[in-house]
Chain A
Amino acid sequence: MSPEVIIRLKDAVVRRDGQDILSIDSLEITRGERVAFIGNSGSGKTTLMRMLKGYITPTRGHVEVMGAPVPLGNRARMRGYHRQIGMIHQHFDLIGRESVWQNVYHGRLGYVPFLRSFLGRFDKGDREICMRALKEVRLDDKLYRSARTLSGGEQQRVAIARTLSQEPTIFLADEPVSNLDPALSEDILDLFGTICVAYRLTLLISLHLPELARRIADRIIAMKAGEIVWQGLPEELSEEKISEIYERGERNGEGYDRLERTNEFHMSWGHGAKGHLVPGS
């Protein structure tokens, strides 16, 4: 049996202000694969992930996830779809005043009827799912700490556990380590390695540093100005390729919407942290 294709894009285009900010001729990702996306700032990595999550509607083309088009515009089905697609990014986005436990429990909300979540009653099954996720990220000793008192690495682990408790099929991680120092970044990436196996996830992860991509990915995809310009195995990604990929594209990540704008703000530490290519220099 050939491996099942879980994501299939055909001529998918996202157009903004008269420019194709994303334009993918063809992309197929199979179930269980770990794919890393690299590329300059503004190359379209976030756009791609937000499109797969169902936040952005493709201007044209075909986007098929888990055997069906993304149920855009259908509120009820969208909720079920969201549940299947876990997403995190560099800002953790936890409810800071709430406990680690409560934040991880939020991953269950999509499954729990309103009245039960309103009364704050977890049933045993939910509790076990959350506990397993917390053990997986090694935070089961900090259940009742409020999230904002945790370190950045710990907060990202809570965010990962929240996504795991959601029991997703696909895990989208948009620059999950851009706010963490290099040692912690490697830690979190290794954690992604373990959870992908334990939860049989398909992982799409975008990273600023090519060597981090090599560490985690089965396949690396390089993007430039919204297009896929290279893909291959981690060992095929040579230094020349890297400099080609990070060569200045026509676009430089200007003029994003307000929400994403604030995201870009914190992003600069990672570039060249290990004497690597500095996008935009």
Chain B
Amino acid sequence: MPPDWSVWDVLWRASLETLQTTIAGTFLGALFAYPLGVMAASNWTPPWIHLPVKAAMAFIRSIPLLILALLFVSAVGLGPFPGVLAIAVHSVGVLGRFVAEEIEATDPRPLLALQGTGASSIQVIQHGLIPQVLPQMVAHLAIRFEMNLRDSTILGLVGAGGLGFYVFLYIKQFQWEKTGVLCLAIIFLVFAGEFVSWQIRKRLI
């Protein structure tokens, strides 16, 4: 049973949609995850801030991505947009936690040393905190992107756009030749995502 390459057009459009969903979702999520992550760091904020933020992020993490997507599909309708929202919300839960843990784990002594030279608080953050956490932040973002790409290939199962939607469609129609081609595309996309993420992380260490 040879693969049916007549789906090329669909494949191209759907792959692009999946990729766009992932990028938009990941960055939208990161936009909220960084400030929330700082708020959730127990050494930077009082308990009445970091405890609720931490709890909210844990709650988000406990909801499976497909359920989130389903919720957003029923809220805003079919298409890639609910996919973006689902990926974004999920990323806030996961990335925010890493940001918080990374900040909590930074050595405070170099920061005190900088303050001891007469640097202002903002200078301490810029020259002391950010250089210490930046590589890990970028690494986490790269990993999140890679995983989100994998996850968003199946978002179509609940109607949230991308490759998964067509895979599901062709399976229902028993068009195995087309399904096979799309599966190959998913494998390729996931592999490419991992490669990019690996390249980014390799450069950081």
Contact = CB atoms under 8 A, between A and B. Distances in A.
Interface stretch (B121-129, B168-176, B178-186): B121-129
Given A91-B109, A94-B110, A97-B135, A110 B118 contact: yes
B82 to A, nearest CB: 39
A87 B109 CA distance: 12
Contact of B116 (A53, A102, A111): A53
B114 interface: yes
A92 to B, nearest CB: 8
Nearest to B109: A93
A109 B118 CA distance: 7
A79 B109 contact: no
B34 to A, nearest CB: 18
A166 B117 CA distance: 6
A94 B108 CA distance: 11
Given A114-B122, A117-B126, A117-B127, A259 B116 contact: no
Nearest to A87: B116
A29 to B, nearest CB: 20
A95 B115 CA distance: 13
B109 A106 contact: no
Interface in A65-86: 79-80, 82-83, 86
Contact residues on B (Cβ < 8 Å of other chain), bracket: 20 to 34
B110 A79 contact: no
Contacts, number: 65
Contacts of B117: 82-83, 86, 106-107, 109-110, 162-163, 166
Nearest to B133: A97
A269 interface: no
B110 to A, nearest CB: 5
B111 to A, nearest CB: 9
A82 B109 contact: no
A109 B123 contact: yes
Chain B, interface SS category: helix
Contacts of A82: 115-118
A244 interface: no
A86 B115 CA distance: 11
B123 A80 contact: no
Contacts of B127: 95, 98, 102, 106, 109, 117
B45 interface: no
Nearest to B130: A95
A179 to B, nearest CB: 13
B105 interface: no
B128 A95 contact: yes
B119 to A, nearest CB: 4
Contacts of B132: 95-97
Nearest to A98: B131
Nearest to A82: B118
A102 B126 CA distance: 12
**Residue of A91, A96, A106, A114 with most chain B CB atoms under a 10 A cut-off:** A106
B120 interface: yes
**Residue of B109, B126, B132 with most chain A CB atoms under a 10 A cut-off:** B109
A79 B113 contact: no
A118 interface: yes
A111 B126 contact: no
B131 A97 contact: yes
Given A94-B113, A95-B128, A109-B114, 16 more contacts: A82-B117, A86-B117, A91-B109, A95-B110, A96-B132, A97-B135, A98-B127, A106-B128, A109-B117, A109-B119, A109-B127, A110-B118, A117-B126, A118-B126, A162-B117, A259-B112
17 contacts: A82-B115, A82-B118, A93-B109, A95-B110, A95-B114, A95-B131, A97-B131, A98-B127, A102-B127, A109-B114, A109-B119, A110-B117, A117-B123, A117-B127, A162-B117, A166-B117, A259-B108
List 6 A-B pairs, minimum CB-CB distance, nearest first.
A110-B118, A83-B118, A109-B119, A93-B113, A82-B118, A93-B110
